[in-house]
Amino acid sequence: GEDVEQSLFLSVREGDSSVINCTYTDSSSTYLYWYKQEPGAGLQLLTYIFSNMDMKQDQRLTVLLNKKDKHLSLRIADTQTGDSAIYFCAESGVTGGGNKLTFGTGTQLKVEL
Amino acid sequence: EPEVTQTPSHQVTQMGQEVILRCVPISNHLYFYWYRQILGQKVEFLVSFYNNEISEKSEIFDDQFSVERPDGSNFTLKIRSTKLEDSAMYFCASSDGTEYEQYFGPGTRLTVT
């Protein structure tokens, strides 16, 4: 079955870049996502990438996809204290709209002053 | 901005009792989902629902679980006879099927004692 893995914890200083990594096993994954979860809140979609893309940039966020290695990363430039949260990598098979998401364990990002 | 809402935010119940978790998806959405997150573990898919029937369910979603869309606005998850291991955060999500995003609610924390 599908599996998605992430490192559990990342600590960075404010203003530095953060890089959160994810690996997945399902070669038929079509869409790959990054969700953010703040304390007491639901899951907020940050960005997604289609599997035939290598990179996607959206303001401070850069997603890199290495399909050969099944490796996805999220880079947050100029990390701020408000970026402290848990970041989940997720994948879906065909489309994101009608298909289930398979999530990673989540990476807790702590931003220190 | 439209959002998915869930009630209650926290439910405490005794083992063996029935619970109903409620969700109000975004009004023009057609696909509905339940996920759960046991403390410290991954967010796991439970069930998806479309056109008034279950479209996919996971191994977790056994005969103790059921879902219903009793009217045009609510989407419910019922656990018939709760077990200690059902203690988790339960997330509802919805999508319109044409976009790549599933919109998540803030979750209901279920504690079974």
DSSP B36-100: EE-TTS-EEEEEEEETTEEEEE-TT--TTEEEE--SSS-EEEEESS--GGG-EEEEEEEE-SSSS
B34–chain A nearest CA distance, Å: 10
Q: What is the DSSP letter of B107?
A: -
A41 neighbourhood in chain B, CB within 8 Å: 106
Please state which of the ranges A44-48, A72-76, B23-27, B100-104 shows the lowest mean pLDDT: B100-104
Q: A51-70 pLDDT, tens per residue?
A: 888 999 999 999 999 989 99
Determine contact: A45 vs chain B, CB below 8 A: yes
pLDDT of residue B25: 96
B35 neighbourhood in chain A, CB within 8 Å: 101, 103
